[in-house]
Amino acid sequence: MKKEIRKVLVINSGSSSLKYQLFDMTKGERLAKGLVERIGCGGPKDHTEALKQVVADLGNPKDIDAIGHRVLHGAEVFKDSVKMNVANMAKCKKLVKFGPLHMPANLGGIEACEKIFKGVPNVAVFDTAFHQTMPDCAAMYAIDPKYYKKMGIRKYGFHGTSHKFITQEAAKFLKKPLAKVNLVTCHLGNGSSLAAVKNGQCVDTSMGLTPLAGMVMGTRCGDIDAAAVLSIMEAEKLTPAEADTLLNKKSGLLALTGSSDCRDICAKADKGDKAAELALEMLAYRVAFYIGGYNTVIGGADAIVMTGGIGENSKEVRERIVRRLGALGIKLDKKANNVRGQTAVISTKDSKIPVVIIPTNEELAIAQDTVRVLGKM
């Protein structure tokens, strides 16, 4: 008989930090969470040492049944989460080129678990997997197809675990079968992306080959004319690595206002700061613009769903977005919008499409997927 999977450890292994959460899946309850920082730069020397610290923090548990890992990129190889083994690790290692910063750390976390939790199954949950149902017309770039064939250059999308989780939660909330639900899901945080979900499946998303595309984000520029980047590189004599840092780490809200934190920017805008005001309107404009497009793509949404640090918490940003959706017959209920971090409908009863906040929980989603994948085997 198959052993019941009760305790699932979820690992989010980054280049210099390792976040973990432990769940009791019989109750869907979180038992512990923590963070090990400064890996390889003053703290533990590598991910194995970091994991030893996690084991100690958890009091040397002997009853962990499975481990779920967040992995950045599954490319076209992994369309769903998988149980790790030698063959799948080899396939993952070939995908490091798609995430040279994150992938080695993600895979290092898995290898560390294989060493320390001997015999406990590891499941990789990919940020890209939910978006693998996108049709080619949404996923391909209009460049010579040889770059797709040789290098895999196409749109992959990210935050898939979150978009999938809120899609499932929204279907339950709307009392619709998952296979029939049409949504625009908005994950708005420090990194932000939208997804168009038709019949429960992703048909488009705003991030691209990398997480740089789409929304105006904390430190990323989002959509930009590629020729603008070439002009800046030429004028400032930037290497590709320097341009990457400029666009990913020194752009977005940070470049526009001096802060990447939405709370600071809302406070500044409240005091009449023009740069903060413009940044918030740029952010809201782009979200509303994509919502309009995605509503067309899916043939009409059953709901617009908002999540992430900003989507769940910032009534100011939500109001700025919904204000721009009048053409879709969407109306904000200002009183209902005065909420934080909880499932709530923030549109009026006569709004043509409801706008719903659904808090995301990527770690729980990874734990649930771990149980599902192992249960299938």
The residues that touch ligand AMP, with contacts defined as CB under 6 A, are: 189-190, 218, 261-263, 266, 308-310, 313-314, 340
Q: d(Cα 214, Cα 140) in Å, to the nearest integer?
A: 15
State which residue has the least CB distance to ligand AMP.
309
The residue among 262 and 328 lying less far from ligand AMP, judged by its C-beta, is: 262
Type of residue at 199: N
To the nearest whole angstrom, how small is the minimum distance from the Cβ of residue 215 to ligand AMP?
Answer: 12
32: left (phi over 0), alpha (psi -120 to 50) or beta: beta
CA distances to 135, 257, 279, 306, 318 from 218, in Å: 29, 10, 11, 17, 16
Q: d(Cα 372, Cα 377) in Å, to the nearest integer?
A: 9
Provide the angle, in degrees to the nearest 10, between the axes of the packed helices 274-297 and 315-322. Answer: 60
The residue among 107 and 287 lying less far from ligand AMP, judged by its C-beta, is: 287
Contact in structure between 189 and 176 (CB atoms under 8 Å): no
Contact in structure between 332 and 346 (CB atoms under 8 Å): yes
The residue among 159 and 198 lying less far from ligand AMP, judged by its C-beta, is: 159
To the nearest whole angstrom, how small is the minimum distance from the Cβ of residue 269 to ligand AMP?
Answer: 11
Q: DSSP states of 293-310 as a string?
A: HHHHHTTS-SEEEEEHHH
To the nearest whole angstrom, how small is the minimum distance from the Cβ of residue 320 to ligand AMP?
Answer: 12
Helix (H, G, I), strand (E, B) or coil at 33: strand
To the nearest whole angstrom, how small is the minimum distance from the Cβ of residue 267 to ligand AMP?
Answer: 9
What amino acid positions are annotated as catalytic residues? 127
Type of residue at 372: R
The residue among 73 and 187 lying less far from ligand AMP, judged by its C-beta, is: 187
To the nearest whole angstrom, how small is the minimum distance from the Cβ of residue 176 to ligand AMP?
Answer: 26
The residue among 310 and 365 lying less far from ligand AMP, judged by its C-beta, is: 310
